[in-house]
Structure 1
């Protein structure tokens, strides 16, 4: 068996310089995994600002804060769906993925946005492991938010990044092993079995629901709503 052709390249290590190019990429999917949950923002990034050691990327209804000191490596690669979808993957010093930014406006625009930043070819990444089946995740706050029709903020937090979206949930359902909330500018995918329960606390006039796994550990995914607006 021949090795797969690699399009994988390590970018010159200047995280802020790379992230400042993101608005020029155009429409993209910016995804953050918090254990078994994947929170994705869809659309163009409008601004990138440096704030107290963080690169802050903002678009309509969403914000992503990258801790620059936590970024060890930035890699470009591509996947082939109907079209070629190039992406930037951001890693910490332990090789864990902090975020993935998938370009939706084509390889030509992606390459033009990164022009002048040195890239070093590396071997193709091994295929990702597929998780096994599990029970439907606890969806109580998500379904309550959908029923209430009031704005909420979803937030994913992991080492090196905080990623949030604010809006009204209109479509929450479980299918093919995932609990999904699908909006035009946000996708949330939660793997079967990932959430056993949600804890609730009151913070500054808001109810904050935190996703908890079967071992009692917080995933890093929260839903925040106006106090008393949800019956979860």
Structure 2
């Protein structure tokens, strides 16, 4: 491992905008929005990075995201995740309250992802604490997550699945081939998109003008919406 990307966790002393502009040269990446039982992931090389006003746009065949960069207080590079002898480096775009607004993970290993970052100024941080893993239960077949997603499968509708937490707005548009329950989650899996919805975290869906919004256990809107696209 290149000594310039040691230690395992650092704060990068560069603006989020400048880091995002480096993404097209960082290989296959996963852009992750995660909040309140929703994990929304787009996977593949970033084709384009643009700017409109204060927002940054990620585009290409595998990405469709708008990022409110002014909400990002710092960017952390963490290279501690290793699976099957492969490093999955991670950029955490963190907010002023310490929460992660979104994250980007390198899927091609350490070198393609870290090479554009290697000469950036940085501050060493303590290693990340491992999150506690709660007890996993089987997904209830009657979980209110199912109906609109299953309907989209049955009808083979063209749908847009959007994650929006006010920092990252990320879309996937396509047809859902199947729903895959596993390890307490309801999952949608394609080559360039993963959606993981935690069983028991949602009370249902609210049909609104043109789309449905997933509701949390208290009946409040979450970060997830589902829209059926009108096709000719």
- Equivalenced residues, count: 220
Partners of 1:57 and 1:64 within 8 A in 2: yes
User: Which secondary structure state, in structure 1, belongs to the residue aligned with residue 97 of structure 2?
Assistant: coil
How many Å apart are 1:171 and its aligned residue? 2.0
How many Å apart are 1:129 and its aligned residue? 3.0
From 70, 80, 83, give the equivalent of 1:81.
83
Partners of 1:61 and 1:167 within 8 A in 2: no
Q: Deviations over 1:147-175 (max 9, x none)?
A: 11121111011131211111111121222
CA distance in 2, matches of 1:81, 1:157: 29
Q: Which residue of 2 aligns with 1:171?
A: 178
Provide structure 1 residue ranges, at least 5 long, that are not aligned to the other structure.
Answer: none
Going from structure 1 to structure 2, the CA distance change for 1:179 and 1:114 (only over 3 Å counts) comes to same
CA distance in 2, matches of 1:171, 1:76: 34
TM-score (norm 2): 0.89
- 1:117 counterpart = 2:124: no
The alignment's C-alpha RMSD in Å is 1.8
TM-score (norm 1): 0.89
How many Å apart are 1:68 and its aligned residue? 1.4
* 1:172-211 matches, cutoff 5 A: 172-202=179-209, 207-211=210-214
User: Which secondary structure state, in structure 2, belongs to the residue aligned with residue 62 of structure 1?
Assistant: coil
Partners of 2:42 and 2:62 within 8 A in 1: no
Q: Which moved more, 1:53-62 or 1:10-19?
A: 53-62
Going from structure 1 to structure 2, the CA distance change for 1:215 and 1:131 (only over 3 Å counts) comes to farther
How many Å apart are 1:39 and its aligned residue? 0.4
How many Å apart are 1:40 and its aligned residue? 0.2
Partners of 1:28 and 1:44 within 8 A in 2: yes
Q: Which residue of 1 aligns with 2:61?
A: 60
User: Which secondary structure state, in structure 1, belongs to the residue aligned with residue 170 of structure 2?
Assistant: strand
Partners of 1:15 and 1:71 within 8 A in 2: yes
